[in-house]
């Protein structure tokens, strides 16, 4: 059983629990795998005070010193990678191989990418007859989600440290185990006391206290758009910087010239990846009317071949969704799709055969979807693909951009040039062209209700910097 009943504050593990002790549920078994003690505003106050005190010294470290610290963290992380992967499988049900390769692997990738980016940061640059300095913004409150837990922790913590900031982290209360292990990694790597602090808890208790705290200079939040709005409102009174990576409803345009089998299959696989629990998942596939029926068959075949089951079984492709609450929400949205006239090409309501225990959702493909339907408007956050026909390119672009979100988009054409021409017209922070993977050195973030910040690589470090203009230097 995992024990997350202590917070990590000022270089020490300290008792918590004034907010109550709660079971951590394995979504594959529906059984507890540990306990987490929720902190309160009092714990946040202690963590912020430690971070504020440590900032005075840590902010003066040289870039080379911070590179060395991040290298030590990466080395210790590499040693604990299997422990972190096992924790993620236990707390969110990700298949074991996927947990090690992609979930835990992403943490190491962000550490290495930040080290590379830090070596290239220009801390001083001329501007007219003046000079511009980049400085750490200060004490940063980091609030992270459960779906890519260590990915989102490392892609915030690493650049914040690189910039010279100190940190108070509130991880997801649903998947807190990897965060506690990461705190152990930082401690073993020699991160100075107070530079990194961890406070477990829920949004109303700890998250709100972090957002509103007058001694926190910046909040970086990843989660739902609804929660992001609450964070921004809570932070407004103290006029702190708020960087947000929120929800998405990403379009995937298959152009007439695209290789249909390859493009549709790749899009369906990407949608079911991580059990559909990714904010940048290509959840709306837009297909030319002339090949729509064929495309539906291809996507349905991918759904049928996607093996859903025990995270420890070697042939499992996807595991359960994170919780009973999320399972019920997904089931409600599948029902809404049927009620509004969409048709099932694969999957549908209920659990897959033979998986009565665990929060498993059938890989599902909807056909005859219009962009006005609930399933095309709302982020489902499960393995549910909506397939929408279009008559011509102009309609495809209109449908793609007809969303409250703007995190990611996808386009596949017969040539790179054709796909890039469409990419320029898509209102999103990221565009994947002809099956290109996410690039960890490129900025990650979106437009509109998908947020307002950028993470990863050099721009991830810049999020945690202030700009000072010095005249007469």
Would you state the pLDDT for residue 472? 84
Q: Which domains does the chain have, with CATH numbers?
A: 2-246+451-471 (3.40.605.10), 251-442 (3.40.309.10)
**pLDDT tens, N- to C-terminus, the chain (473 residues):** 999 999 999 999 998 868 899 999 999 999 999 999 999 999 999 999 999 999 999 999 999 999 999 999 999 999 999 999 999 999 999 999 999 999 999 999 999 999 999 999 989 999 999 999 999 999 999 999 999 999 999 999 999 999 999 999 999 999 999 999 999 999 999 999 999 999 999 999 999 999 999 999 999 999 988 888 999 998 889 999 999 999 999 999 999 999 999 999 999 999 999 999 999 999 999 999 999 999 999 999 999 999 999 999 999 999 999 999 999 999 999 999 999 999 999 999 999 999 999 999 999 999 999 999 999 999 999 999 999 999 999 999 999 999 999 999 999 999 999 999 999 999 999 999 999 999 999 999 999 999 998 999 999 999 999 999 999 87
Identify the active-site residue in 76, 245, 379, 418. 245
Would you state the pLDDT for residue 376? 97
Would you state the pLDDT for residue 27? 98
User: Which three-class secondary structure string do you get for the chain?
Assistant: CEEECEEEECCEEEECCCCCEEEEEECCCCEEEEEEECCCHHHHHHHHHHHHHHHHHHCCCCHHHHHHHHHHHHHHHHHHHHHHHHHHHHHHCCCHHHHHHHHHHHHHHHHHHHHHHHCCCCCEEEECCEEEEEEECCEEEEECCCCCHHHHHHHHHHHHHHHCCEEEEECCCCCCHHHHHHHHHHHHCCCCCCCEEECCCCHHHHHHHHHHCCCCCEEEEECCHHHHHHHHHHHHCCCCEEEEECCCCCEEEECCCCCHHHHHHHHHHHHHHHHHCCCCCCCEEEEEHHHHHHHHHHHHHHHHHCCECCCCCCCCCECCCCCHHHHHHHHHHHHHHHHCCCEEEECCCCCCCCCCCCCCCCCEEEECCCCCCHHHHCCCCCCEEEEEEECCHHHHHHHHHCCCCCCEEEEECCCHHHHHHHHCCCCCCEEEECCCCCCCCCCECCCHHHECCCECHHHHHHCCEEEEEEECC
Contact 283, 267 (CB under 8 A): no
Contact 33, 91 (CB under 8 A): yes
With tokens 């929060």, the residue in question is 359
* Residue 463 to residue 196: CA distance in whole angstroms: 18
Contact 407, 451 (CB under 8 A): yes
Q: Is 418 a catalytic residue?
A: no
Cross-strand bridge partners of residue 409: 431
Q: How far is CA 316 from the centre of its chain?
A: 22
Would you state the pLDDT for residue 19? 82
Would you state the pLDDT for residue 377? 97
Q: Is 184 a catalytic residue?
A: no
Identify the active-site residue in 4, 140, 155, 279. 279
Would you state the pLDDT for residue 473? 76
Contact 175, 322 (CB under 8 A): yes
């Amino acid at each position: 059983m995992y024990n997350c009943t202590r917070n990590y504050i000022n270089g020490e593990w300290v008792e918590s629990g004034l907010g109550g002790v709660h079971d951590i549920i394995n979504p594959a078994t529906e059984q507890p795998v540990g306990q987490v003690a929720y902190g309160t505003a009092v714990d946040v106050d202690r963590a912020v005070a430690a971070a504020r005190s440590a900032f005075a010294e840590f902010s003066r470290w040289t870039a080379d010193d911070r590179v060395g610290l991040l290298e030590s963290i990466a080395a210790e992380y590499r040693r604990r990678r299997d422990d972190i992967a096992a924790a993620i499988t236990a707390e969110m049900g990700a298949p074991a191989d996927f947990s090690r390769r992609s979930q835990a692997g992403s943490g190491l990738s962000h550490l290495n990418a930040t080290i590379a980016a830090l070596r290239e940061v220009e801390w001083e640059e001329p501007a007219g007859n003046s000079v511009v300095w980049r400085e750490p913004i200060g004490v940063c409150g980091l609030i992270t989600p459960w779906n890519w837990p260590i990915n989102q922790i490392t892609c915030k913590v690493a650049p914040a440290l690189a910039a010279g900031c100190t940190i108070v982290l509130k991880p997801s209360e649903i998947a807190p185990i990897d965060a506690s292990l990461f705190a152990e990694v930082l401690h073993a790597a020699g991160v100075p006391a107070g530079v990194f602090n961890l406070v477990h808890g829920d949004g109303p208790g700890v998250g709100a206290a972090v957002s509103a705290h007058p001694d926190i200079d910046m909040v970086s939040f990843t989660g739902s758009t609804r929660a992001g709005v609450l964070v921004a409102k809570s932070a407004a009174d103290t006029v702190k910087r708020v960087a947000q990576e929120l929800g998405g409803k990403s379009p995937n345009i298959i152009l007439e010239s695209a290789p249909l089998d390859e493009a549709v299959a790749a899009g369906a696989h990407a949608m079911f990846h991580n059990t559909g629990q990714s904010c940048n998942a290509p959840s709306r596939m837009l297909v030319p009317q002339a090949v729509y029926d064929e495309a539906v068959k291809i996507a349905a075949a991918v759904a049928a071949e996607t093996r859903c089951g025990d995270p420890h079984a070697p042939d499992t492709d996807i595991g359960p969704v994170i919780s009973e609450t999320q399972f019920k929400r997904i089931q409600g949205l599948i029902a809404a799709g049927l009620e509004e006239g969409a048709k099932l090409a694969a999957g549908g309501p209920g659990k897959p055969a033979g998986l009565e225990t665990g929060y498993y959702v059938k890989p599902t493909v909807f056909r005859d979807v219009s962009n006005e339907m609930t399933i095309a408007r709302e982020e489902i956050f499960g393995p549910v693909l909506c397939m929408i026909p279009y008559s011509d390119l102009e309609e495809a672009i209109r449908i793609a951009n007809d969303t409250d979100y703007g995190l990611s988009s996808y386009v596949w054409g017969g040539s790179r040039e054709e796909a890039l021409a469409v990419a320029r017209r898509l209102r999103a922070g990221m565009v994947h062209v002809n099956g290109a993977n996410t690039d960890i050195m490129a900025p990650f973030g979106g437009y509109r209700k998908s947020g307002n910040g950028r993470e990863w690589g050099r721009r991830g470090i810049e999020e945690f910097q202030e700009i000072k203009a010095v005249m007469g230097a």
